Amino acid sequence: MNDANRNIGQRLIHRWHWLLEGDAESPEQCMNRSFLFCAALGCFAGGLLNYLGGLTDMFYIVLVAIIGSALLAIWAYLRRGHYMRHSTMVGACLVIIGLIPLNWIYNQGLDGPSLLLFMLVAGYAFGVLLVPPWQRLLIAALFLVVPYGLIWSHYRWPDWIDPYPSPAAHAMDAAMTYTICIVLLLVMVSGFFRRFESEQRLINDYAERLREAGLRDSLTGLFNHGSFYALVDGYCRQENTTQPVRGALILYDLDYFKNVNDSYGHVYGDTTLKFFARVLREIVDVRGGTAGRCGGEEFAVFLPEAGPSEVEEVDTLLRAACEAQPLEHGPVRFSGGVAFQPARTIESWMERADNALYAAKCRGRNATVYRTRAE
């Protein structure tokens, strides 16, 4: 029952966010749309309170309703996916030079809650809006000029400020303004958390990509020498346990690759290496193995729990694929050396496979030699 209620609550929250924010592409857009929508509702709620409580005259109420409608129109414009920065800048300016000065004049100036609204909107403008530097300077200038001008005008001409009709009206307006500020503050804090979570996901994604890039050879995409060495070394360490392990280590070397480079150029040579690496990876991956590039035209394959029959199948498929897809210089041919029975150290296992590879080259290349036991 609790899970069902939680799912219902999550769906309602998701629908509310969609209604409020539309198809926003970033936490910044979500925060701006939510802030403008709640600010518009705050204008309507404040105007209604002033009307029902008789706190101010109708002129102020109408102006507040007009500003609220303008903010709502900007919100609707943004929700439809239009350009954001100019619209949010206009909305911020409407609040700074329109709504708050009106609230100051009609809600008892220094004794009213207008400075609280100024602080909240300043936090939104400086912390949320991503605008060009000149617009940020303009907003900062407005937050210096407008409040100080209002404070000075209240001191110089106090009779211009409409007093509250009663202490109860003063308390009611302070409570309403505080509630609106709390709602807008919650929108901002929620937006910051969502922005932080989004950026944290991006950081983790980039970190994972960098980690993966550090494990891979930049040309072929196979594991590089260090990461392949570490992987096989961990497998060798299992040999020190009581449970024996099986596996095969294969070293491949492209035949006469230097002649290919000298005759066709290094760019073509890189193409040859990438072709061989792609075919090798396709065959090895489906069999649970790992392929790596040890350097130059040398490649290595690790097949855990593999015996001679599995290695022979991989070798046969690899040679057939290279013969079936000849490059400009002809089919890619290679020599191979295989060592079974993982040794206690990777160095000795590699040495056995390398000796087998050397034997294949001595036999005329384009062949694979197997070492079925440690020597």
Closest CA to 253 of 308, 293, 216, 219: 293
Confidence of residue 2 (pLDDT cuts 50, 70, 90): low
The structural domains of the chain, with segments of one domain joined by +, span: 2-210, 225-371
Query: Which stretches does DSSP call E strand in the chain?
Result: 247-254, 290-295, 298-304, 334-340, 368-371
Residue 1, pLDDT score: 47
Average pLDDT over residues 166-181: 80
pLDDT (tens digit per residue) in 119-155 = 777 777 777 666 677 777 877 788 788 888 888 888 8
Is 225-371 assigned to CATH 3.40.50.10420? no
Residue 69 has pLDDT above 50, yes or no: yes
Question: What is the number of helices (H) and of strands (E) in the chain?
Answer: 13, 5
Of the ranges 281-285, 316-320, 347-351, which one carries the lowest mean pLDDT score? Answer: 347-351
What average pLDDT is seen over the chain? 81
Between CA 321 and CA 305 the distance in angstroms is 24
Which residues neighbour 339 within 8 Å (Cβ) at sequence distance 6 or greater? 248, 249, 349, 350, 352, 353, 356, 371
